[in-house]
Structure 1
Amino acid sequence: MFKNSNKEVSVDLGKTNRIVESTIIRGDIEATSDMRLDGELHGNLFVKGRVVVGAKAKIIGNIDCENADVEGVVEGIIKVKDLLSVKANANIKGELIVGRLSVEPGGNMEVTCQMLGQGGKEVKSGNKQAKGE
């Protein structure tokens, strides 16, 4: 009567992985549920959910996720399909590829930024002008 085809995905809903302060990880991390990092990562982070980079956290590597809040230090490429929130304490160097971007006053960014269109697809830029009707 009812199909449970999304059983694997729903198992991880509401669960959050945590990397606590004073923890240093060297290597890539892949997760299907949300991730909060308060320690240090020297590698790439691939998360199907939300990533929270705590105020004392440091990531030297790339991030690929659905949504992200950054309070700490990130050096690398950050690809966020939906919303990237850069908090006041954040320090980001590298490249941003985001669907939407929110930056609090005080957030420090030395980046190039590319906005994604609807559905997380890259928007191609050009010199085309919009024509009025």
Structure 2
Amino acid sequence: MAFGSKNKIKKELAKGIEPCGTITMLSAGTVLDGSLKLGGDLRVDGVINGDVQGKKKVVIGEKGKVIGDIYCEFLELHGRVEGDVKCKQVARLHATAFLRGDLYASQFSVAMGASFIGASKGEQKELNLDNVKTNDTSSKK
């Protein structure tokens, strides 16, 4: 099998996205009002009322909720997002996911059972995660 073949890429997608570095966790019952910018991975099981700018992987757990836009390298969505998602690489909407907003990603998958209300657009490899202007959406509740 040649390096970079379609079969290899499919196998990598099937395995799941490994953690990329330091993991910041927002636990269930925690509410953050305001935008969040971080350099490592993020797992959200609580609520964020504001934009999320993560340089690596963002995971929204089944009980997690983000009301705002998300900018990241990789996304694993099990919970709820009300805002646009701009993902440089891969976005996965799992069976329990709810996304109301547009999805920009080079590659994405939507599992049966997931809810996706919005448009999808590809090719985000040019997305510069260092220079993203976020909006405070804490008043969008």
**TM-score under structure 1 normalisation?**
0.78
What CA deviation, in whole Å up to 9, does each residue of 1:40-96 have, x standing for no partner? Answer: 000000000000000001110000000000000100010000000100000110111
Task: Indicate the residue corresponding to 1:78 in structure 2.
Answer: 85
The counterpart of 2:33, out of the listed 20, 23, 26, is 26
Q: How far apart, in 1, do the equivalents of 2:38 and 2:126 lie?
A: 22
Q: How far apart, in 2, do the equivalents of 1:32 and 1:58 lie?
A: 20
The counterpart of 1:87, out of the listed 61, 83, 94, is 94
What CA deviation, in whole Å up to 9, does each residue of 1:79-119 have, x standing for no partner? Answer: 000000100000110111111011111111001111116xx
Greater RCO, CA 8 A, separation 6+? 2
The counterpart of 1:38, out of the listed 29, 37, 45, is 45
Q: What is the letter of the counterpart of residue 29 of structure 1?
A: L
Task: Indicate the residue corresponding to 2:68 in structure 1.
Answer: 61
Q: How far apart, in 2, do the equivalents of 1:14 and 1:121 lie?
A: 22
Greater share of residues in strand: 1
Secondary structure at 2:120 match in 1: strand
Q: How far apart, in 1, do the equivalents of 2:94 and 2:54 lie?
A: 20
Q: What is the letter of the counterpart of residue 61 of structure 2?
A: G
Structure number, greater radius of gyration: 1
Q: How far apart, in 1, do the equivalents of 2:93 and 2:35 lie?
A: 23
**TM-score under structure 2 normalisation?**
0.74
2:128 is equivalent to residue 109 of structure 1: no
Percent identity over the alignment?
30
2:89 is equivalent to residue 52 of structure 1: no
Q: How far apart, in 2, do the equivalents of 1:111 and 1:90 lie?
A: 13
Which ranges in structure 1 are unaligned for 5 or more consecutive residues?
1-12, 123-133
Which ranges in structure 2 are unaligned for 5 or more consecutive residues?
1-19, 128-141
